Homo-oligomer: A and B are copies of this chain.
Amino acid sequence: MSTNIFNINDSHRLQTKQLDVPPRLLLGPGPSNAHPRILQAMAMRQIGHLDPAFLKLMDEIQELLRYAWQTDNKFTIPVSGTGSAAMEACFANLIEPGDKILIGVNGYFGNRMVDMAGRYGGEVRQLNRSWGEVFTMEEIRAGLEKHRPGVLGLVHAETSTGACQPLEDIGNLCREYDCLLLVDTVTSLGGVPVFIDEWKIDAGYSGSQKCLNCPPGIAPLTFGERALAKLRSRKSKVANWYLDMTMLMSYWGSERTYHHTAPINMNYGLREALRIVAEEGLEARWQRHREVSEFFWKGLRDIGLECHVVAEHRLPSLTTVKIPEGVDGKTVQKKLLNEFNIEIAGGLGELADKVWRVGLMGYNSRRENVVLLLKTLQTAIGVGD
């Protein structure tokens, strides 16, 4: 076969420059700035997804993830996609058509859970709360009592509202009602205390691009024994091939059976991210996030700005700041981006145009970033100091 018989169409043969992007300080809801060590790790040369050296690296990632999540769960792996893929993996694997599932909706990601659960045939029931509030134990007990779901889905750290759902005792409650507890820890893992085992969370997922500071494209997932039992007792095939954990188990387990090609360099990056967490230690890391955010919250008060979430349930990694009367939030965001290369985000859903969302995540959780943001925010809003 000769190839020069072809008439190649050059109309889309775009001339492009070498990649360059502005030096942004990413203080929105994520991605956060990648830690330079992580970017360096990601540029490591390629090896195969079944190479003994890669299999060793997979083991290390699993172990470091267990530390970050405080779990002994054997089945703790990174999913080959962004956080939403790990979220979907939970619903695809733990729900069968007709299963009843109860979801706490107090923000954007609760709604996403509802959408996903429905696509897998779940009979979805909702608990609802205003965006920025959290559910009480009593509300959750009443919901379990009324709906008797097989799965309760909650968002630990609502990236859309900045609220942190207390979880300490909900696992026990779920066991009482023979229900799995599924928790979104996208914006908490690595920045805010999460105890998968102590809190009796049966299934959890997260993202890489928040408090772990690894670029997006790989997403932690953990299933405990009760979740695995549900998976083993399924009557139907998982309705999603790519995220079918019954198949992925053989790749991440001792058999090492090929399923799909793992995103090698994203795994390099995640390993480095988790190494950094292990080096700093969880306690120091959580304290740092807490202290830097308290510093930020105090600074906001000092320039006359208010937080949307009450102090008790405020998330250290993501703060929703009320946009003052008469200020156009989007104009301020644009000014910060265009004049100072600082990214913050606006609100979603109920909070659209009402709040700014500010993330101080992982590597970005530093006092100098707070000082810079407060000062430029003040300038952009046009309030005197």
Contact = CB atoms under 8 A, between A and B. Distances in A.
A32 B80 CA distance: 18
A339 interface: no
A32 B46 CA distance: 8
A261 B30 contact: yes
A326 interface: no
Q: Which 10 A-B residue pairs are closest in the complex by CB-CB distance?
A: A217-B263, A12-B67, A12-B66, A84-B260, A43-B43, A215-B265, A3-B286, A39-B43, A34-B46, A216-B261
Copies in the complex: 2
Interface residues of A, number: 99
Contacts of A337: 51
A240 to B, nearest CB: 6
Contact of A80 (B82, B120, B275): B82
**DSSP class of A's interface residues: helix, strand, loop or mixed?**
loop
A30 to B, nearest CB: 7
A59 to B, nearest CB: 9
A383 interface: no
A260 B81 CA distance: 10
Contacts of A287: 3-4
Contact of A268 (B10, B19, B40): B19
Nearest to A197: B9
A72 B205 CA distance: 38
